[in-house]
Structure formats: C-alpha cells, structure tokens
Amino acid sequence: MSLKLDHIGYNRGSFSLRDISISVPEGSILGIGGQNGSGKSTLLKLMYGFYRPDSGRIFLEKKALSEISTREISRNIAVVNQEISEPFNFTALEVVKLSGYSRNDETISPLEAMEKCGISHLSNRTFSELSGGEKRLVIIAAAVYQDAKIILMDEPTAFLDVDKEERVKAIIRNLNEDGRTLILVLHDINLLNSICSHVVLLKEGRIIAEGKKETVLTLENLENAYSTRFRILEDAGPYKFAPADYKLM
C-alpha cells in the first residue's frame, strides 16, 4: 500500500502548503520534521482526507484519495491524532472498539490490540480519567485495532514519560516490522534520526529536503529547516544533533 502526494497545495489565508510532493515508500517509517507552524500536522490531516487540498492530488495505491469513500480510506489508513476530544464516560476499551467502525472482519480483537500496546489493564477504566500518556497509548491501540497498512501519527511521543516514550517507539518498530508503513510527525530531530527510515523536512509550507534519513538529516538541511546552527554530538547515545551553542555537561 503506497501513499503518494502529487504537487499538493493547501491555502488558508496566512498559512499555506505549497507544491508538496512526497512518495511514501511501502514499509518505511517516514518522519515529517520542521519548525512549529511549518505545516506538519496540516499535511498529516491532508493525507487521510480530513482536509481537501486546493490543488494537486493524493494517491492511495493507484486511486485518488478524493475518489475513495471515507470508509475505504480508513481501512487503509489509521491515524493517531495528537489532540483527542474526550468522550462522555467511555471506557478505554470502548474507545478502542470505535476504531473497528469500518472493519469487515476482525483479525485482531480490541483487547489484543490493547495487549500489544501493554495497556490491557486499562480496558475498563474511564477514558477521561486516564493520564495523557495512557490516553495516547489507548489511541495507538485503537489504530492498531483498526488494522490499516498505513498508520499516521501526529507527535506520538510528545509529553510522554520516558518509559512510555520508549514503549511507543517499540510499538512503532513492531508495527513497521509487521510490514506497515508509518508516517510520523515529529518535532524532535533526534527522534527523526533514531526511528525513521525516511525524512521530509518542511519549512514555511514547503519541502526543503526529502528522502532517506541519511541524505536528509545533514547539518545544512537542519540549519535551513530550523534556522539554527547545529553540530553533531559524538557518543551521546541516541542524541546526535544539538544546537551549535548547546553545551553537553
């Protein structure tokens, strides 16, 4: 299942995305990076049809996204949005179950999906009572239950404790090993570097670099994307990039 963006333009007054062309390789983990307000989340919402592009087209496999029914899209693309409204008095399990809306057959049960994300113990808890991190994991479990080939995640690790962040990273890797394509919006350069195979860097609604992680994550590109000078840290564990004036203590 491949996703291809073809010269997408999306204009909302002061904010716009211009001429975005991305080809998401099957089985890859594509990271979308860039400064706040560079259009990362908007791009994600365009990718599953929540917003309609003003120009250009998005192709899912060979079909244009605008010609596929919402249900059909959701069978192929699952989304973990960053901000979730809290439903009235739903249990975590009910929230996960909702994601089976478009499924014809059940290859995995809601509880199994929660088990996979290590949160089966939360199944009967009220969703709105959960902590932010637990909620994120429930939504990820819901995406797992939706069982789509492509999973979009908007800042999946933001505001998470270290242990939960590690768990989310592990889930992402597992999903990828299962053959799923993941598209992640990440503001953290080191996360882009550590979990993604491919990276797109956005700046003010335009792509400034796209391709394999190794070719995109260069000091010049980062400097261009984030308007800050970077330097490479040696032997700093998962951390490779830091602002140039950042001192490691």
Partner 1 sequence: MVDAEITENRNRKISLFFTKASLLVVFLVVSVIYSTFIGSVTIPVQNIASIYLKQIPFFGNFVSAGYTYSQYEIVVLIREPEVLAAVVVGAALAIGGTSVQSVFRNPITEPYIIGISSGATLGAVIALATSTTIFGAYSVQFLSFFTSIAVVFVVYFLSFRTGRVPPIYLLLTGIAISLFISALVGLILFSSRKLQNEAFAWLLGSLSGITWQELGLVTLLVMISSLILGTIWKELDALQMGEPHARSIGVNVEKTKLIALTVTTVGVSAAVSISGLIGFVGLVIPHLARIVFGGSNRKVLPMSALFGGIFLLISDDLARTLVHNEILPVGIITGLIGVPFFMYMLSRISRGNYVS
- Positions touching partner 1 (CB under 8 A) are 45, 48-50, 52, 70-75, 77-79, 81, 83-91, 94-95, 98-99, 101-102, 111, 126, 128-129, 139, 142, 146, 152
Query: Which residue, 98 or 208, has its beta carbon nearer to partner 1?
Result: 98
- Pair of tokens at residue 24: 């998401």
Which residue's CB is nearer to partner 1, number 78 or number 113?
Answer: 78
CB of 228 to partner 1, least distance (A): 30
If residue 232 lies in a helix (H) or strand (E), which one and from where to where?
A: strand 230-232
Taking the complex as a whole, the smallest distance from the CB of residue 25 to partner 1 amounts, in Å, to: 22
Q: Edge-to-edge, what's the strand order for the sheet holding 29-34?
A: 77-80, 150-154, 181-185, 29-34, 198-203, 206-212
Nearer to partner 1, 88 or 163 (CB): 88
**What are the strands of the beta sheet with 3-12, ordered from one edge?**
15-24, 3-12, 55-60, 63-64
User: Going by DSSP bridges, is the β-strand pair 15-24/3-12 parallel, antiparallel, or unpaired?
Assistant: antiparallel
Residue number with CB closer to partner 1 (36 or 85): 85
CB of 131 to partner 1, least distance (A): 11
First-residue to last-residue Cα distance in the chain:
45
CA distance 197 to 181: 11
Distances in Å between the alpha carbon of 2 and those of 25, 44, 79, 179, 183? Answer: 6, 15, 16, 12, 11
Nearer to partner 1, 47 or 201 (CB): 47
